[in-house]
C-alpha cells in the first residue's frame, strides 16, 4: 500500500508506528509543517518526510488525514486539484463530517472516517469507522490499517458522536475508574504503585474475560458474588451510591456537550 499521512502529530505518528510494525506499506509519506520532530524517521526504508502535501498525495493512494479540525478546510482546498480516482481518503478529524468533506472536494472519492482513541499508541485502539457511498468498497483498506492498531467497528455516521463519547472520551472515564479503585486500594493498605498495578491488571482481566469468552458482564458478576458475601455487599453499596447511574448520566452529559460543540 502506498500511504500518506497528512499531519504527523500525536495521532499521525501512532498510526505511522503501527504501519511500520505491521509492515503495512510499500511507500509511506509523512507530512507536517515542522519536520524537526520527525528526524528519527529519516532512516526508515521507503519513508519520505515532506512539508509538501501535494507531493505526498501524488505519490500515494491511501491518504490518512490527522490534522486539527481547524486546519482541515485549507488542506482539502490545497489538495483538491491533485485528487484522482486512485485515492482513498481516510479522515481521523473529530467532528468533521463526510458531508462537509464532500462539499469541499465532491462525492466521487472514497471517504472513510475513522475515530480511534489514544490507546492507538499501544496498538489497542477501539476505532469506529464509517464511509460514504463510494467508500464502501474501500472499507477493508481502513480495517486492515486500524485492525493492526487495535480493533475496528463499522457504524453509521450518525453514531460517530456517540462513539466518540464511548470510546475516545471513554479512555478518560476508564482511567478515572482505575484511579479511584487505586485510591481505595491505598486505603486498604497497599502502596500506591502496588494498588495501581492491581487495579490495572484487574481491569484488563475483566475486559479480557468478556472479549475472550463472549460472556455477559452480569454472568461474570454472578460467578464472583457469593450470597451474603463481600463482593455483593460492596457492589450493592456502590450502586446505592449511584455507580451505574452516574456513569450513564456522565455519558449522556458528554454526548449533549459534543452535540452542542458540533452546532457551534
Ligand X SMILES: NC(=O)c1ccc[n+]([C@@H]2O[C@H](COP(=O)([O-])OP(=O)(O)OC[C@H]3O[C@@H](n4cnc5c(N)ncnc54)[C@H](OP(=O)(O)O)[C@@H]3O)[C@@H](O)[C@H]2O)c1
Q: From the list 32, 60, 101, 185, which residue makes contact with ligand X (rule: CB under 6 A)?
A: 32
Q: Is 33 in the site for ligand X (CB under 6 A)?
A: yes
Site string for ligand X, 144-173 (x = CB under 6 A): ------------------------x-----
* Beta-carbon contacts of residue 168 (< 8 Å; ≥ 6 apart): 94, 115, 116, 117, 118
Residue ranges in 40-79 that form contacts with ligand X under rule CB under 6 A? 53, 66-69, 71, 75
Q: Is 34 in the site for ligand X (CB under 6 A)?
A: yes
At residue 144, what are phi and psi to the nearest 5 degrees?
-60, -40
Spell 220-257 as b/e; 16+ CB within 10 A means b: eeeeebeeeeeeeeeeeeeeeeeeeeeeeeebeebbee
Site string for ligand X, 199-228 (x = CB under 6 A): ------------------------------
Q: Is 97 in the site for ligand X (CB under 6 A)?
A: no
User: What is the rounded CA–CA span in Å between residue 138 and residue 4?
Assistant: 16
User: What is the rounded CA–CA span in Å between residue 205 and residue 223?
Assistant: 14
Q: Which is nearer to ligand X, 163 or 196 (CB)?
A: 163
190 φψ region: left (φ > 0), alpha (ψ -120 to 50), beta (else): beta
Question: Could you tell me how many residues of this chain bind ligand X (CB under 6 A)?
Answer: 26
Q: Which is nearer to ligand X, 31 or 138 (CB)?
A: 31
Residue nearest to ligand X (CB): 9
Least distance between ligand X and beta carbon 69 (Å): 5
R_g of the chain computed on alpha carbons: 22
Site residues for ligand X per CB under 6 A: 6-12, 31-34, 53, 66-69, 71, 75, 92-94, 115-118, 168
Amino acid at each position: 500500500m502506498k500511504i500518506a499521512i497528512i499531519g504527523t502529530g500525536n495521532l499521525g505518528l501512532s498510526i505511522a508506528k503501527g504501519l511500520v510494525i505491521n509492515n503495512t506499506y510499500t511507500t509511506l509519506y509523512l507530512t507536517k509543517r515542522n519536520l524537526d520532530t520527525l528526524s528519527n524517521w529519516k532512516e526508515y526504508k521507503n519513508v519520505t518526510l515532506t512539508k509538501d502535501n501535494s507531493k505526498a498525495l501524488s505519490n500515494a493512494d491511501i491518504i490518512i488525514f490527522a490534522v486539527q479540525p481547524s486546519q482541515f478546510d485549507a488542506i482539502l482546498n490545497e489538495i483538491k486539484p491533485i485528487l484522482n480516482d486512485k485515492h482513498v481518503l481516510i479522515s481521523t478529524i473529530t467532528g468533521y463530517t463526510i458531508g462537509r468533506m464532500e462539499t469541499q472536494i465532491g462525492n466521487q472519492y472514497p471517504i472513510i472516517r475513522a475515530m480511534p482513541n489514544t490507546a492507538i499508541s499501544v496498538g489497542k485502539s477501539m476505532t469506529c469507522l464509517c464511509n460514504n457511498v463510494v467508500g464502501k468498497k474501500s472499507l477493508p483498506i481502513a480495517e486492515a490499517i486500524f485492525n493492526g492498531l487495535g480493533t475496528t467497528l463499522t457504524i453509521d455516521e450518525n453514531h460517530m458522536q456517540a462513539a466518540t463519547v464511548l470510546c475516545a472520551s471513554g479512555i478518560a472515564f476508564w482511567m478515572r475508574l482505575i484511579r479511584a479503585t487505586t485510591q481505595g486500594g491505598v486505603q486498604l493498605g497497599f502502596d500506591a504503585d502496588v494498588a495501581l498495578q492491581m487495579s490495572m491488571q484487574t481491569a484488563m482481566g475483566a475486559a479480557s474475560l468478556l472479549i475472550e469468552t463472549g460472556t455477559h458482564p452480569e454472568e461474570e458478576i454472578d460467578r464472583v458474588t457469593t450470597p451474603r458475601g463481600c463482593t455483593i455487599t460492596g457492589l450493592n453499596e456502590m450502586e446505592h451510591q449511584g455507580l451505574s447511574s452516574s456513569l450513564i448520566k456522565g455519558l449522556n452529559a458528554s454526548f449533549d456537550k459534543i452535540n452542542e460543540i458540533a452546532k457551534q
